[in-house]
Amino acid sequence: MIKSQVLKEFTETVKTLASPAIRSWREQGGKVVTYNCSYVPEEIITAAGLVPLRMRAPGSTGTELSDTYLSNINCSFCRHVFNMALRGDYEFIEGAVWASTCDHSRRIFDNWKRKVGTPFTHMMSLPKKTTDVQVGWWREELANLKEALEKHLGVTITDDKLQEAIKTHNETRRLLRQLYELRKKDAPPITGADALAVMVASTAMPKERFNQMLKELLEALRGAEGIKDYRARLMIVGGILDAPDFIKVIEDEGGLVVTDSQCVGTRVFWTDVDVGGDPLTALARWYLQDKPQCPRMFDQTANRSKFIRDMVKEFRVDGIIGERLVFCDFWTVEHYLLRTELKAEIPYISLDREYLWAGAMGQLRTRVQAFLERVER
């Protein structure tokens, strides 16, 4: 019953931008800042007394407004998010923060700043490598964000507040690792679709509330009966994926998603931020060096391959499904490199999708069926 109740709230959180937990926070006078990418330091937003909310577009039905400002070769995630902002769905937020991850995101920022009217907007200049030089650069960007929030809100973000925020977010990471540890079992007690709902909820509600709910869920899962009737253990590799229904289609065909390498997945919780010392330096080092990196970081190709190989071994993965949003340049190259490198070791398929992908459900189902037959052979 606990498992059902907690998962229901997590699922409801996924379906809406302003979840019940966010609305409750706002009713108590709290403020929310949205952000575009897992490289944006949530801890600084939390230390400022705000709730960080990852940009999503649940409930979007089209891009007719954003298409006035963005090209049809901009990725559909960006167009749907900006469309929701233009129609007023983001009116409840206090601010929006971007890392300069790609040209698509930059175009949202350029237009959002002029057309949406959010009280606070900020762009962070994200480096493309991960050496100590770039860590110093990123620390300066973190300091700029901190100072901008302090000026806008009229608050002081002390080192003690940053350390407390780091501890809270580290607890989230520790609990999520416990969830994934359960997925290593022969009969995992949670589906990949439900696990993704948990991950999305972690980016869309106050962290203290999320941590308490996840503790309850973990307690219930440890005594739950596991899933045994699956054809293959699968891993998802890709960028932004916030749709549990996408995973459900895969699992309805007999695959069981047991792990991932995604930005709403292992890349945000697989390691902890160091506590102690200068918190901004610790955060800069974690975001650029200590956590698993995405294709944005050009000098981490070998480490990304190693991370995926380690996941395959640790979770006993039978096949990898790579997913990418159409027009995502980073993941176009990355999937080609990974397929080429891993084709002799493990079955690997790349699936292109739009942010609203439900219309292509039949095509997805057909390709997954063929892939599972290949994995079984």
- 251 class by beta-carbon count within 10 Å (0-12 exposed, 13-18 middle, 19+ buried): buried
Assess if residue 373 is contained within a domain: no
Assess if residue 48 is contained within a domain: yes
Q: What is the pLDDT along the chain (377 residues), one digit of tens a residue?
A: 667 899 999 999 999 999 999 999 999 999 999 999 999 999 999 999 999 999 999 989 999 999 999 988 889 999 999 999 999 999 999 999 999 999 999 999 999 999 999 999 999 999 999 999 999 999 999 999 999 999 999 999 999 999 999 999 999 999 999 999 999 999 999 999 999 999 999 999 999 999 999 999 999 999 888 999 999 999 999 999 999 999 999 999 999 999 999 999 999 999 999 998 999 999 999 999 999 999 999 999 999 999 999 999 999 999 999 999 999 989 999 999 999 999 889 999 999 999 987 768 888 999 999 999 999 98
- 207-222 and 192-202 helices, crossing angle to 10°: 160
Assess if residue 114 is contained within a domain: yes
- What is the pLDDT, as a whole number, of residue 2? 62
Cα–Cα distance list, 214 to 42, 161, 243, 356 (Å): 19, 23, 19, 28
Assess if residue 251 is contained within a domain: no
Assess if residue 44 is contained within a domain: yes
Assess if residue 127 is contained within a domain: yes
Residue 157 near residue 33, CB atoms below 8 Å:
no
Strand-pair category, 319-325 with 255-261 = unpaired
Boundaries of domain holding 101: 27-158
CATH number of the domain where residue 69 is located: 3.40.50.11890
The count of domains in the chain is 1
- What is the pLDDT, as a whole number, of residue 4? 83
Distance CA 206, CA 212 (A): 10
- Long-range CB contacts (< 8 A, 24+ apart) of 57-61? 57/17, 57/81, 57/83, 57/84, 57/355, 58/14, 58/15, 58/16, 58/17, 58/242, 59/15, 59/16, 59/17, 59/84, 59/89, 60/84, 60/355, 60/356, 61/356
Assess if residue 5 is contained within a domain: no
Measured over the CA atoms of residue 134, residue 135, residue 136 and residue 138, the dihedral's sign is: positive
Assess if residue 108 is contained within a domain: yes
Distance CA 82, CA 76 (A): 10
